[in-house]
């Protein structure tokens, strides 16, 4: 191989291959690349090398080493020749990827577009050191090329100065591929999904379908998996949890808000839910169990127990220092809650109150004098009117002993109202 030739997989598949003596030795069925996706390199571009060709001859399948392979383009057609016949071991083949079987027509993640796209063709290049896959074609041109009518369509469009839409992804930009049931583990291919918002990853997982979606989810670390699981639709949440081991599922659930976990577990069979609760750490499990005791019509059923509390004598400086150090989630600090020395609820403080106050002011100085509260056993239907009337982002939930049980944030109230609207 002395010259550079750029070609598409679709143009090569099905061509005859010639041996050293010039006789036909078979028909090309697939190209096999090194499994680069299982060991991505952070240095330099990713260009997986084609290590073997799959040929079919007289009903038999053979895998030939590309070290002695040559491809030439003669009058617009490709000629595939072998200067020497050298076979590749089955062990190497079993740990490699097939371009036709594993990648062509499969779905990949478009990181920039935050969606799934289908691989219509694959662009390759031959250089003196070998054959390399450089990009995937996800555009209409690739599909027409597969059908063998791309040139004809281009000719028809040329008088109108129009072109066929084309879209390529360099191999580096492939975040993950739906390999179906190939059985290949590709945990490192999902690292680029970390750059997306959890809701985008959730949409992608749902688009992938059950099997591939579960594989993508299982490759996420526990922190990101928890964020993504919150964004999934209830039926998808159930499927994902059931597809994981009890240990892995418990690890993920421990990093989710207790109210979200309680909602999810209510969708599972009682036996499965109990298994997960026993596997979770004691503190997380007890929080969830307490929420599960509330009826579905009570405020407690949708409240969050992730609250940020301070004592009446805490200063603004102390509160800001705590928030900077702990960096709580945004929805947990819609409102800050003030407790007295006996841990009874006293009032609320907003972030605005904190920011505009003097650094030495105490919470008692700036807290609201007549805070709006609800009881944990109040009817959930009353929440919409309250947050609307008083323009609240978060509402403290207390018990009859004036102890803080949690809070209801406007996000959960809106979600509850929407869900009820869907079921009417």
Question: Per mean pLDDT, which range of 120-134, 264-278, 350-364, 406-420 is the poorest?
Answer: 406-420
Considering the chain, what is the average pLDDT of its residues? 84
Residue 402 has pLDDT above 50, yes or no: yes
Polymer length of the chain: 424
Residues of the chain with CATH 3.10.580.10: 309-423
Greater confidence (102 vs 360) lies with: 360
Tokens at 34, concatenated: 């090194």
Residue 100 has pLDDT above 80, yes or no: yes
Kindly state the average pLDDT of the residues 352-364: 95
**Domain spanning 309-423, CATH class:** alpha beta
Q: For residue 330, what pLDDT is reported? A: 85
Residue 185 has pLDDT above 60, yes or no: no
Question: Per mean pLDDT, which range of 35-49, 70-84, 303-317, 392-406 is the poorest?
Answer: 35-49
Q: E strands along 3-68, which residues?
A: 5-8, 16-18, 24-33, 50-57, 60-65
Percent of the chain beyond pLDDT 90? Answer: 43
Greater confidence (220 vs 352) lies with: 352
For 277-345, the DSSP string reads: HHHS-HHHHHHHHHHHTS-TTBGGGT-B----EEETT-BHHHHHHHHHHH---GGGGSSEEEE-TTSBE
Percent of the chain beyond pLDDT 70? Answer: 88
Question: Per mean pLDDT, which range of 171-180, 202-211, 396-405 is the poorest?
Answer: 171-180
Residue 424 has pLDDT above 80, yes or no: no
Q: Where does the pLDDT of residue 274 fall: very low under 50, low under 70, confident under 90, or very high at 90 and above?
A: very high
Residue 313 has pLDDT above 70, yes or no: yes
Distance CA 67, CA 86 (A): 8
Kindly state the average pLDDT of the residues 404-419: 80
Burial classification of residue 121, based on how many CB atoms lie within 10 Å of its CB (0-12 exposed, 13-18 middle, 19 or more buried):
buried
Q: Where does the pLDDT of residue 250 fall: very low under 50, low under 70, confident under 90, or very high at 90 and above?
A: very high
Distance CA 243, CA 221 (A): 16
Kindly state the average pLDDT of the residues 12-20: 91
Q: For residue 220, what pLDDT is reported? A: 83
Q: For residue 39, what pLDDT is reported? A: 42
Kindly state the average pLDDT of the residues 357-376: 94
Give CA separation, 339 vs 322, 330, 367, in Å: 16, 21, 11
Residue 422 has pLDDT above 50, yes or no: no
Distance CA 206, CA 232 (A): 8
Greater confidence (412 vs 256) lies with: 256
Q: Are 81 and 66 in contact (CB under 8 A)?
A: no
Kindly state the average pLDDT of the residues 394-411: 93
Question: Per mean pLDDT, which range of 28-37, 172-181, 282-291 is the poorest?
Answer: 172-181
Q: What tens digit of pLDDT does each residue of 150-168 get? A: 777 777 777 777 777 778 8
- State which fold the 197-293 domain adopts: MgtE N-terminal fold (1.25.60)
Residues of the chain with CATH 1.25.60.10: 197-293
Kindly state the average pLDDT of the residues 289-316: 93
Kindly state the average pLDDT of the residues 29-38: 76
**What is the dihedral sign for C-alpha 410, 413, 415, 417?**
negative
Residue 112 has pLDDT above 80, yes or no: no
Residue 198 has pLDDT above 80, yes or no: yes
- What's the pTM? 0.65
Kindly state the average pLDDT of the residues 117-138: 87
Q: Where does the pLDDT of residue 104 fall: very low under 50, low under 70, confident under 90, or very high at 90 and above?
A: confident
Greater confidence (95 vs 9) lies with: 9
Greater confidence (153 vs 251) lies with: 251
Residue 355 has pLDDT above 60, yes or no: yes
């Amino acid at each position: 191989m002395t010259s550079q030739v750029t070609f598409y997989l679709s143009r090569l598949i099905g061509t005859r291959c010639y041996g050293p003596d010039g006789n036909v030795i078979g028909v090309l069925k697939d190209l096999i690349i090194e499994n680069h996706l299982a060991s991505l390199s952070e240095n330099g571009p990713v260009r997986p090398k084609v290590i073997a060709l799959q040929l079919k001859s007289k009903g038999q399948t053979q895998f030939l080493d590309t070290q002695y392979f040559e491809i030439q383009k003669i009058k617009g057609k490709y000629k595939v020749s072998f200067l020497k016949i050298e076979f590749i071991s089955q062990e190497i083949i079993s740990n490699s990827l097939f371009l036709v079987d594993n990648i062509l027509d499969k779905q990949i993640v478009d990181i920039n577009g935050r969606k799934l796209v289908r691989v219509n063709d694959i662009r390759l290049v031959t250089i003196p050191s070998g054959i390399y896959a450089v990009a995937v074609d996800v555009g209409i041109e690739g599909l027409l090329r597969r059908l063998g009518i791309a040139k004809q369509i281009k000719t028809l469009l040329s008088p109108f100065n129009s072109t066929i839409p084309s879209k390529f992804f360099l191999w580096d930009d492939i975040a993950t591929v739906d390999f179906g049931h190939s059985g290949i583990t590709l945990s490192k291919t999902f690292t680029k999904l970390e750059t997306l918002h959890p809701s985008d990853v959730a949409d992608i997982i749902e688009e992938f379908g059950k099997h591939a979606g579960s594989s993508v989810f299982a490759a996420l670390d526990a922190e990101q998996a928890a964020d993504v699981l919150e964004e999934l639709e209830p039926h998808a949440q159930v499927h994902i949890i059931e597809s994981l081991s009890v240990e892995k599922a418990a690890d993920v659930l421990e990093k989710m808000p207790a109210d979200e976990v309680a909602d999810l577990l209510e969708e599972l069979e009682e036996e499965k839910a109990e298994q997960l609760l026993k596997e979770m750490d004691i503190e997380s499990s007890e929080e969830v169990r307490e929420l599960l005791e509330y009826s579905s019509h009570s405020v407690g059923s949708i409240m969050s127990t992730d609250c940020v509390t301070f004592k009446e004598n805490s200063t603004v400086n102390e509160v800001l220092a705590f928030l900077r150090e702990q960096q709580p989630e945004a929805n947990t600090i819609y409102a800050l809650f003030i407790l007295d020395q006996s841990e009874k609820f006293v009032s609320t403080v907003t972030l605005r109150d904190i920011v505009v106050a003097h650094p030495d002011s105490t919470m008692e100085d700036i807290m609201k004098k007549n805070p709006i509260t609800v009881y944990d056993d109040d009817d959930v239907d009353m929440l919409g009117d309250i947050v609307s009337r008083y323009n609240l982002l978060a509402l403290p939930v207390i018990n009859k002993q004036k102890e803080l049980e949690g809070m209801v944030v406007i996000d959960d109230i809106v979600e509850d109202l929407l869900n009820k609207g869907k079921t009417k």
